[in-house]
A and B are shown apart, each in its own frame.
Chain A
Amino acid sequence: MASIDEIAPETDSPFDGKPVEQLDQVVIRFCGDSGDGMQLVGTQFTNVSAVFGNDVSTFPDFPAEIRAPAGTLSGVSGFQLHFSSHDIFTPGDAVDTLVAMNPAALKANVADLKRGGLLIVNEDSYDQKNVEKAGYASNPLDDEIALQGFQVHRVPMTRLTRDAVDGLGLSPKEAERCKNFFALGLVYWLYGRDATPTREWVEKKFARTPSLIEANLNALKAGSVYGEVTESFATHFQVPPAELPPGTYRKITGNEALAVGMATAAKLANAELLYSGYPITPASDILHELSKLKHFGVRTFQAEDEIAAMSATVGAAFGGVLAVTASSGPGICLKGEAMGLGMITELPMVIIDVQRGGPSTGLPTKTEQSDLLMAMFGRNGESPLPIVAPATPGDCFFMMQEALRIAIEFMVPVILLSDGYVANGAEPWRIPELSDLKPLRKRHPQPLTNGQAEKGFHAYERDERLVRPWAKPGTTGLEHRIGGLEKSDGSGNVDYDPDNHAHMTATRAEKVAGIADHIPEQDVEGPDHGKVLVVSWGGTYGAVRTAVRQLIREGEAVAHAHLRYLNPFPRNLESLFSQYDRILVPELNNGQLSVLLRSQFLTETVGLNKIQGKPFLVQEVVKSIRELL
């Protein structure tokens, strides 16, 4: 179990008469068949824990198939939640409490349960058929040796759920479907959670079918009562609220934060925003979220394919609005050509890549960081684009606005690299003050009067930062033509001159490199010199930060630099490297950031690479750092 601070005395509400044990953190994982509603109960538990004041970090893990054959290993869906009384950065390495709704879920997950951990199973689903489907020779619940060391709770959830909803006129199937709420009720009791937000959610969700409201609430209550009255649970646990910086908080996922970030940017810039997308896991939720925000001046366009989504984004940028598209690896491949068009026409837009396991279709629902080099180099010709990468779900809000800011200040498409882990994971988010956010200003040249228009408008006349004007169609006197052919600097007319092409290639690269003067310097957590600097980017932030903190606490000379700006790099990055003996670069790929660091700074790096579709465990990072000490 998680460390136990003290044995708390018996208390009143929300706990009943049983003793309460105080813990400072718990990792719980719900797992079952993909039709068992595990993502739903995981999300509900996250909500009530966040509202209670715990710090939370989640890891939803589900199969790519919507309904894999019931009861099989390939259909197992899981949701892991880490909640604590201090600040945390990861969903946790090992599980304290595992709720396994069927034998397949047990088989796929039991290896992650800590010795001494709580194992709660739905006994009713461990019948011969399901046992065989999971590939067990006999009922694993009867295998005392295998389950030795766990606190096993065999709960007849299906039967008790049926009893709880009896008389409501539900079909046997509908009745059984409520068993996830029974399981939820039981763990709510176990951790003394207030179920009010979940009850309200059920009432809203099933408003049209009152019998389902009653059924799910009955099941929820039955689960809780089960914990209270049966002998099998002797204690329950309390995880006090965390001490987070003061403010108002909400729970947010990475994809939600991107959507909110976009709507906010549109508001701050007093601009319209066109978001074009094509359904793809794990990016689709951005489209879902934004399509609810039409009243914020957001237009969403579900295009016929990825190429059209990218092309419409280029068109919208030309048209003068904030233009964003999102996809995942395979879709970004398709967008490549039109991204190049955005690059050479020097129009502002943001392309979000929510990375997943690749190559090709790869692992659609699993996380990876293997699109970094594609973001850098995945277009024909010399076409460098700025790249940013949020570190956490909440950070998506800020980096989305940074991406748009860079795009419109520098007239350039910007790539934002998220990943499945950041996109679907949730954390408490301290709600910002609008007045604290950086302003976002769109600038368009003014109409030309007749006299001025004589000289013509020069679409590629650059300012001191090499940025060309963003002339909106519809503006008198600024008529001009752009396109994918090389153009003459200044006038923007088609130009095949060799020296001009060299000049334009260099100018576009120089403009992007110059962005380094307009982004924050790289910060470091830990000593400003020492033995190891760990350099990470994207969604590995939590695991790396937790690992580095652990070693710092142990007195090691280790520091952490987490990059949110990947192209260009922060100005001071190279000088930081010389302050440490070794550079460790943990990545969920085969060493892509290392390639960039080595080629740009001629510095030696050591890679920690994992390509399993799963995030780093803290202990994997700790071990890798120790090897360099």
Chain B
Amino acid sequence: MSTELPVLTDKDFASDQEVRWCPRCGDYSILKQMQKVLPGLGIPKENFVFVSGIGCSSRFPYYMNTYGFHSIHGRAPAIATGVKLANPDLQVWVITGDGDSLSIGGNHLMHAIRRNVDLKIILFNNQIYGLTKGQYSPTSPTGSRTKSTPYGSLDTPLNPLCVAIGSEASFVARSVDVDIKHLQATLKRAAEHKGTAFVEVYQDCNVFNSGAFKYAQSKAEKADNVVVLEQGRPLIFGKNRDKGIRVTGLLTPEVVTLGDNIREDDLLFHDEKAEEPSLAFMLARMRRPEFPEPIGVFRCIDRPTYNEAVEDQVTMAVEKEGEGDIEALFRKGDTWEVQ
């Protein structure tokens, strides 16, 4: 029997179910890029599991010809943790949205990340509740006028990457739904990371929040609005690649123009491996219109995974106590005989 894996294509990962997102929804592209990335990972198809919560994005597993679990609102990280602990050989993906993961499921997201369970969490951020037809979400900008906030929303939005970094994430990245090559590369990096990989994808809800990320999607605008993070490279952006990010004082970023006084060497050089999360945090907080918004891998460090630690503890217990002996367990403590 050959031990070589059969050659898979994106079609192998498409299920027979009709995809039912609104036409031109950003989810289509994310689904397609996922189906393109998975065949190249060298993982048997039966070892992929997709777990989702509730929301438009959470229909994702139904369209993947893998093991899938469309669960309940907000709980996908906890369910996925159970799957991973049950069988650490599986590659477990969590598909979630901004409401699902940051509102009702905020607690589970935070704890999965801080434990560093080996999960790939993809957050489709469209800054709106789409499935319930247009209420503001925890990532909607303050003042958003939606069905539930006709006078404008009052809450300060959460920044998903800051939540992840604050939860001690070992891998944090951001991409954009229609930036096909970048999204594929980012998903691949997430898949290859050992530990929780957290990826925010800017995703357009063209029905309830159309154009929220146009600045990062349209060819005409994105060059000035987005800076692509590359390991060891300076942060340069702009149509003419003449603008950069420089850091002054205590990690205070500023936009500078490359020219006579400012050379590339003066700019911030990206380091996703930095032990301290401060740089990643600073980058995550860079927001339009003051700054271009970074996409790419913000942080990628090695940290022990929870699921490996669980297995190691079991191995250690067996080494220390020997393979569990039920009859000895029955007789634990004081026993006595009745004739």
CB of B90 within 8 A of CB of A474, answer yes
Give chain A nearest CB distance to B167 CB in angstroms.
Answer: 11
CB of B49 within 8 A of CB of A473, answer yes
- Whether a CB of chain B sits under 8 angstroms from the CB of A239 is no
Q: Kindly report which residue of chain B lies nearest to residue A267, judged by CB atoms.
A: B326
CB of A250 within 8 A of CB of B330, answer yes
- Whether a CB of chain A sits under 8 angstroms from the CB of B3 is no
CB of A267 within 8 A of CB of B82, answer no
Beta-carbon contacts under 8 Å, B84-99 to A: 84-87, 89-90
CB of A296 within 8 A of CB of B326, answer yes
CB of A312 within 8 A of CB of B334, answer no
Q: Kindly report which residue of chain A lies nearest to residue B82, judged by CB atoms.
A: A315
Knowing A295-B322, A341-B71 touch, does A47 contact B334 (C-beta < 8 A)? Answer: yes
Scoring B49, B75, B108, B323 by chain A CB atoms within 10 A of each residue's CB, the highest score goes to: B75
> Which of the candidate stretches B60-68, B195-203, B252-260 sits at the interface with the other chain?
B60-68
Give chain B nearest CB distance to A48 CB in angstroms.
Answer: 8
Interface bits B320-339 vs A (CB < 8 Å: 1, else 0): 11111011011111111111
A483 proximity list for chain B (CB < 8 A): 61-62, 68-71
CB of B327 within 8 A of CB of A303, answer no
- Whether a CB of chain B sits under 8 angstroms from the CB of A28 is no
Q: Out of A293, A296, A311, A319, which one reaches B71, CB within 8 Å?
A: A311
Q: Out of B85, B87, B337, which one reaches A472, CB within 8 Å?
A: B87
CB of A480 within 8 A of CB of B336, answer no
> Which of the candidate stretches B40-48, B131-139, B264-272 sits at the interface with the other chain?
B40-48
Per the bound structure, the CA–CA distance linking A52 and B336 in Å amounts to 8
B51 proximity list for chain A (CB < 8 A): 315
Beta-carbon contacts under 8 Å, A467-483 to B: 472-483
- Whether a CB of chain B sits under 8 angstroms from the CB of A51 is yes
- Whether a CB of chain A sits under 8 angstroms from the CB of B111 is yes
Knowing A320-B86, A431-B331, A485-B70 touch, does A297 contact B324 (C-beta < 8 A)? Answer: yes
Give chain B nearest CB distance to A267 CB in angstroms.
Answer: 5
Per the bound structure, the CA–CA distance linking A260 and B62 in Å amounts to 39
Number of A-B contacts (CB under 8 A): 217
CB of B70 within 8 A of CB of A481, answer yes
Interface size of A by CB at 8 A reads 75
Per the bound structure, the CA–CA distance linking A476 and B6 in Å amounts to 12
Q: Out of A260, A319, A478, A482, which one reaches B90, CB within 8 Å?
A: A319
CB of B334 within 8 A of CB of A51, answer yes
B338 proximity list for chain A (CB < 8 A): 53, 241, 243-249, 430
Q: Kindly report which residue of chain A lies nearest to residue B13, judged by CB atoms.
A: A479
CB of A294 within 8 A of CB of B79, answer no
B158 proximity list for chain A (CB < 8 A): none
CB of B87 within 8 A of CB of A320, answer yes
Knowing A483-B71, A485-B70 touch, does A313 contact B82 (C-beta < 8 A)? Answer: yes
Q: Kindly report which residue of chain B lies nearest to residue A481, judged by CB atoms.
A: B68
Per the bound structure, the CA–CA distance linking A179 and B273 in Å amounts to 58
Give chain A nearest CB distance to B129 CB in angstroms.
Answer: 18
Q: Out of A301, A341, A431, A479, which one reaches B81, CB within 8 Å?
A: A301
CB of A316 within 8 A of CB of B85, answer yes
Beta-carbon contacts under 8 Å, A288-321 to B: 293-299, 301, 303-305, 307-309, 311-321
CB of A293 within 8 A of CB of B82, answer no
CB of B326 within 8 A of CB of A316, answer no
CB of B90 within 8 A of CB of A315, answer no
Q: Kindly report which residue of chain A lies nearest to residue B73, judged by CB atoms.
A: A337
Binding site for B on A (CB under 8 A): 47, 50-53, 197, 241, 243-251, 260, 263-264, 267, 272, 274, 276, 293-299, 301, 303-305, 307-309, 311-321, 323, 337-338, 341, 345, 430-432, 434, 447, 456, 472-485, 493-494
Please name 10 further chain A to chain B contacts, defined as beta carbons within 8 Å, in addition to the given A295-B324, A484-B72, sorted by A numbering. A50-B336, A248-B336, A249-B335, A307-B108, A311-B72, A312-B82, A315-B83, A321-B86, A473-B87, A478-B46
14 contacts between A and B (CB under 8 A): A251-B333, A274-B82, A274-B86, A294-B313, A295-B321, A299-B85, A315-B83, A318-B82, A319-B90, A434-B326, A473-B87, A474-B67, A481-B69, A483-B62
* Top 3 A-B pairs, shortest CB-CB distance: A315-B82, A319-B86, A483-B70
